[in-house]
Structures are given as C-alpha cells and as structure tokens.
C-alpha cells in the first residue's frame, strides 16, 4: 500500500520516527527527483492510524511538488515537494520537548528537508523545533508567518480570475464565502474587506470565528451552511477533501478559489461535477504557493518585498498560461494545469 501511495504521489522517500514519551509518530516525506531537496510545512493531526498519516503525507508531497514546478526552476531554489506530519492529538500530546525532538529528526536529513508551519503547528511551535534544527523556516526572526504570502496569493488569483471573467479585477461588491479563518483565512478576510468585498465566513472553532466577526465586521454562518451560500466565490481555506459530491451539489457560487491543499474529494471527477453547474475551479497548487515560496526565499536570503513582488509575477503569469491552455484545448483549468505541470516536471 505504501509503495503504491508513493508511486502515485511523486514521493520517493519516507522517514519515520516514534517518540515513546509523547506517543507521537513523526513522518517526513519528500520528493528528491524533481529537485534536490524537499520543502513543505509540518502539520499535527490526530489521525486514526500511522498509515492514514503516511497517506496524507504522500498526497501532500505530490501537491507540494506541483507547487515547486509552478514556481519554476528560476525561483524555487532547487526545491521539490516535502511534508512533515506528526501523528498525535495536538490538544494533549503537543509539548515543547516533543517539538524539539521533531526538530532533531528534521536535522538528521542535513538540509534535504526544510519545513515550517501548517495545520496545528504555529509560530510558537516551530521556535521549539528551531532550537534543534537549522532547517526550520517562517520564523518571526526570518521572513515571518507563511500565512501572509499565502493569503496574498489567493487574493491575487481572485482578482486575476475576475479580470478574465468580468473584464476587470475589482472585488468591490463581490460576495465571497470564506471557509476557515485560521492564519491564512483570517488574513484573506482582512484583505478582502480592504478590497470592498462582502465576506461571509465560517470556521469549526466558534471562538476564532467570533473574533474575526468582531474584528472585521463580517457576516458569519455555521460550518454546515457555508456551501449553500449564494456568492461569487467560494474560498476553502481549511481542511482538504471538502469538495465532495454532496458539498458540490450544495454550492451556489461561480468560482472556487482557495488556499486549502487537496480540497477535491475525487480529483478531476469533482472538477467536472462543478463544471456541470457552471462553476470554475482554480487548482489549489497554482495559487496557494505563497507559503512555500516564502520558505524558499528565506533560505536564499531574500526580503518579504521580493517575495510579494515575485509572487504577483508568478501567479499572474501561471493563471494566464493555464487559461490560454484551457481555451485552446477546451479543457478545465484543472486539466490545463495538470498538463503544464506534467510537461515541465518530465521535460516532455
């Protein structure tokens, strides 16, 4: 099973370590075939099994490798996809010593894997990791939180797609449903409000949702209600695999543009189900590259200004390229992106 997952998801290395004291299992998965080393954040989730954690890690290596291809050899610092996964309950098993041990595990790869924040691993957590590894990025002493450029990239994509569909890139008055207001979603809400968009937000954490509602004066709904909200753009910014057949049937939007990794429950089939409803799906790995790009640039000694400037250049260029490919081939944006990535990854 594991070999099949690796082969399917462009993952050629998996490293495992069990931490007896915390009861957590550490997983480092990477692709060292497209690039020389892997890059990707670390998440901590209470998976039902280590095998489920490995499956998630390999799928994320695939999407992270695609992000590296989208960024391109000119800017990606010779990186390929990677992902760190901690199998454990963050509410009761996450502690400084466990995080330090994870950092030591990262260090054993001697720079062949670079990592930072992701789900349930925040800026404070990676500070502990960084005590034991020089290959932790996104620190406050570096270029800062990876959520900032990630949200910026999603905003850029929304404006680029509006320019394509409506003839101008204004988000003023557009109704945008934001699913998930963690680090990325919250910053995206801030940017959307500044653009004059009408935001409707949700999150599984009621306290976080209430705080965002109060800070930005936006409308909020229960998590199960967000799919059916009538809007211009539905923006998933939390967990993956949320675009199931049932949830797609509920959608009442024109476009899906978000930062969540692997939001499709059934890859192309999910995209085609949205197409039947007249919904445009923008591939996640084309537009949520901001975080990993910041990580690459931090290692190369670049500035945040450089990150945001080049991010705007890359995302604009790639979206235009994918739109052009989709129109020529009469395919979805997803199919066009998959074809471009395959060609650039394999050189064929």
* Catalytic positions: 83
Report the alpha-carbon distance of residue 285 to residue 256 in Å, rounded.
13
Report the alpha-carbon distance of residue 146 to residue 59 in Å, rounded.
20
Q: Is 18 helix (H, G, I), strand (E, B) or coil?
A: strand
Beta carbons of 203 and 209 less than 8 angstroms apart = yes
From residue 68, how far is each of 42, 197, 222, 250 by CA, in Å? Answer: 17, 31, 35, 33
Report the alpha-carbon distance of residue 201 to residue 172 in Å, rounded.
17
Beta carbons of 78 and 35 less than 8 angstroms apart = yes
Torsion on CA atoms 174, 179, 184, 188, rounded to nearest 10:
10
Tokens, residue 69: 């291809």
> What length is written for the chain?
348
From residue 31, how far is each of 38, 72, 110, 148, 290 by CA, in Å? Answer: 6, 15, 15, 26, 19
Q: Which residues pair with 80 in a beta bridge?
A: 38
């Amino acid at each position: 099973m594991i070999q099949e997952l690796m082969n399917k998801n462009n993952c050629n290395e998996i490293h495992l370590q069990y931490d007896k004291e915390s009861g957590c299992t550490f997983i480092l998965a990477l692709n060292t075939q497209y690039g020389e080393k892997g890059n990707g954040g670390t998440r901590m989730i209470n998976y039902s099994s280590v095998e489920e954690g490995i499956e998630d890690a390999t799928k994320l290596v695939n999407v992270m490798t695609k992000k590296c291809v989208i960024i391109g050899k000119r800017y990606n610092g010779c990186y390929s996809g990677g992902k760190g996964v901690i199998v454990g309950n963050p509410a009761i098993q996450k502690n400084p010593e466990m995080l330090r041990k994870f950092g030591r595990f990262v260090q054993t790869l001697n720079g062949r894997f670079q990592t930072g924040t992701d789900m349930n691993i925040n800026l404070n957590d990676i500070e502990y990791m960084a005590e034991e590894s020089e290959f932790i990025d996104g620190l406050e002493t570096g270029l800062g939180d990876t959520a900032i450029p990630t949200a910026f990239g999603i905003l850029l994509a929304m404006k680029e797609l509006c320019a394509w569909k409506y003839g101008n890139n204004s988000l003023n008055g557009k109704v945008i449903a934001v699913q998930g207001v963690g680090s990325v979603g919250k910053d995206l809400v801030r940017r959307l409000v500044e653009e004059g968009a009408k935001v409707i937000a949700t999150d599984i954490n009621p306290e976080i949702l209430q705080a965002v509602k109060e800070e930005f004066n936006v409308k909020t709904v229960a998590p199960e209600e967000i799919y059916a909200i009538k809007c211009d753009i539905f923006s998933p910014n939390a967990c993956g695999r949320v675009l199931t057949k049932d949830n797609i049937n509920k959608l009442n939007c024109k476009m899906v543009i978000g930062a969540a990794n692997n939001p499709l429950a059934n890859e192309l089939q999910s995209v085609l189900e949205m197409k039947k409803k007249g919904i445009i799906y923008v591939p996640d790995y084309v537009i949520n590259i901001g975080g990993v790009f910041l990580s690459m640039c931090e290692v190369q000694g670049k500035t945040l200004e450089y990150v945001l400037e080049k991010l705007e250049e890359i995302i604009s260029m790639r979206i235009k390229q994918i739109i052009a490919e989709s129109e020529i081939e009469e395919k979805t944006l997803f199919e066009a992106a998959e074809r471009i990535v395959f060609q650039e990854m394999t050189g064929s």
